[in-house]
A and B are shown apart, each in its own frame.
Chain A
Amino acid sequence: MGGGTSLRYLETIRRDYPLSLHGVGLSLGSAEDIDAAHLTRVRSVVERIEPGLVSEHVSWSVVGGAYLADLLPLPMTEEALDVVCRHVEQAQVCLNRRLLIENPSTYLRFCHSTIPEWEFLSRVAERTGCGILCDVNNIYVSACNHGWDAATYLAALPRAAVGEIHLAGHAVKMLDDGQTLRIDDHGSRVAPAVWALYAEALARFGPVPTLIEWDTEVPPLEVLLEEAARAAAILREAEGEYACADAA
């Protein structure tokens, strides 16, 4: 996995903070074999920085050996489910640990899909023992784009499997014909509706470690800290409620 200053910085940070390692390149949904060289690179980073959590997306990026540099949507079919399960199992064996799989944000659906996305995630978790990285912003974005009910989506996820939450800002893109699509671009503050959904998610899943993704149009540090503080406050509140519920 290379070397140099980036990895050195990461190791320095790791000395003081736990890290979650988040992949975009494994292409768990590729019909062809998973790229063994890439999986080996991920393993070498896992061995080197010993992250607390390791996650990847329910999507695909590689066909014919070419990496298409995006998290492309899968048809929600039994065939795709088998492929993702096979690759998750392979990754978990290679990395010798549980993987978390993240729900994608999508801008299209395939006509031949037969499984609701939330059920697809639950079945992968059930079959492989992997966890779920619940990206609350992605749920909101996809729900708006496809007319789903975000609360139904959340309620369908198996509580015990959810090991991490992602939040992020998204953009509203106006198309030529006046229609809009929400785009997960990690380039702004978390939307109010996503904060509300986050509180719902915590109420359901408990105080799960949460990461805010903001990697385009990165703002001044104070803005990032404000967003992080807001998430931390909601998380603390959930911790209190969770502890009370536990005691009861």
Chain B
Amino acid sequence: MNTPAPTLLELQHAVYRSVVGRDDAEAAACIVADGIDPAARLGIYRNTFASVLTNALKLSYPAVHRLVAPECFEGAARLFIEEELPRCANLDHYGAGFPDFLARFPPVAALAYLPDVARLEWAVSRALHAPDVPPLDLGRLAALTEDEQARVCFAPHPSAGLLHADYPADSIWRAVLAQDDAALAAIDPASGLVWLLVHRTENGIEVTRLSEAAWRFTEALFAGRPLHSALEDAPGAKAHVLLAKHLTAGCFAGFGVSDNAIS
């Protein structure tokens, strides 16, 4: 008995089950064998799917790729791909969940710092591919009254991001990408938390280590809190100096003035 031909949508779901779920049965039944096992034909597409996505992860996580054995990275990537498929055809956006995946991937459990390095690489990748937006116009900021300046709220530049790590992810990342074994050997993984700002400048990506107080102040500004409010929570952060640095470094894309009068 002839089964009716599948609709395009049914066929595409069947191919999905083959490529992603390794269940060839339904798709194979729709394929002309012509001397070659349909499963072998489907396998070619499955291989491309896996290798393109593995490659996308290598591009976003180059230091992680160098820190583990090649087969370990491939294995992690294959399992991760099964968990998280791209929802967007721009693969620069693919792999946000990889750091958390690595944190629960037993073969790399001995490299406790690896998920932190991966989180930093994701922030770097986001900064690399963030939209081109001109930095905040300092002239407009200077034109505000003193009262308005206190109530100013900043919008972070799309390339700017903050993260903190239990391990010195920034030092490890730099040493690995520079292939500087001596620098890598000199790093004490147990040296304590690091508070990091990542952003893109004209010259490339900058990863800056901040004090915890400076980081929290920056975080408050990035969250859009009015300047006076962020300053109240930042004793000892040398907040004005830091704000000036962020402004000149182009960490903000715009600003507004909060309606709430300062009490």
Contacts and interface: CB of A to CB of B under 8 A. Distances in A.
A27 B90 CA distance: 12
A24 B52 CA distance: 12
B85 A175 contact: no
Given A4-B129, A107-B41, A110-B30, A62 B9 contact: no
A198 interface: no
Nearest to A60: B12
B36 A179 contact: yes
A127 interface: no
B162 interface: no
Contacts of B88: 35, 37-38, 67
Contact of A2 (B8, B13, B129): B129
Interface string B114-133: 00000000000000111111
A213 B204 CA distance: 29
B52 A112 contact: no
A68 interface: yes
B106 interface: no
A134 to B, nearest CB: 22
A110 B87 contact: no
A63 B12 contact: yes
B91 interface: yes
Interface residues of B, number: 47
Contact of A7 (B32, B85, B132): B132
Given A38-B88, A62-B89, A70 B45 contact: yes
Interface residues of A, number: 52
B90 to A, nearest CB: 6
A58 to B, nearest CB: 13
A94 B49 CA distance: 28
A110 B42 contact: no
Given A69-B52, A72-B15, A181 B6 contact: no
Interface in A33-80: 35, 37-38, 41, 60-70, 72-75, 77, 79-80
A26 interface: yes
A64 B31 CA distance: 22
Nearest to B17: A63
Given A41-B90, A68-B49, A70-B48, A31 B34 contact: no
Interface string A124-164: 00000000000000000000001100000000000000000
A164 B258 CA distance: 55
Contacts of A62: 89
A225 interface: no
Interface string B50-64: 001100100000000
B129 A67 contact: no
B34 A110 contact: no
B19 interface: yes
A69 B91 contact: yes
Contacts of A176: 40
A65 B90 contact: no
B32 A3 contact: no
Contacts of A181: 36, 41, 44
Contacts of B200: 4
Interface in A2-25: 2-5, 7, 24-25
B263 interface: no
14 contacts: A1-B90, A4-B200, A35-B89, A38-B89, A60-B12, A61-B89, A63-B12, A68-B19, A70-B19, A109-B31, A110-B30, A175-B37, A176-B40, A179-B36
Interface of A: 1-5, 7, 24-27, 29-32, 35, 37-38, 41, 60-70, 72-75, 77, 79-80, 83, 107-112, 146-147, 173, 175-177, 179, 181, 183
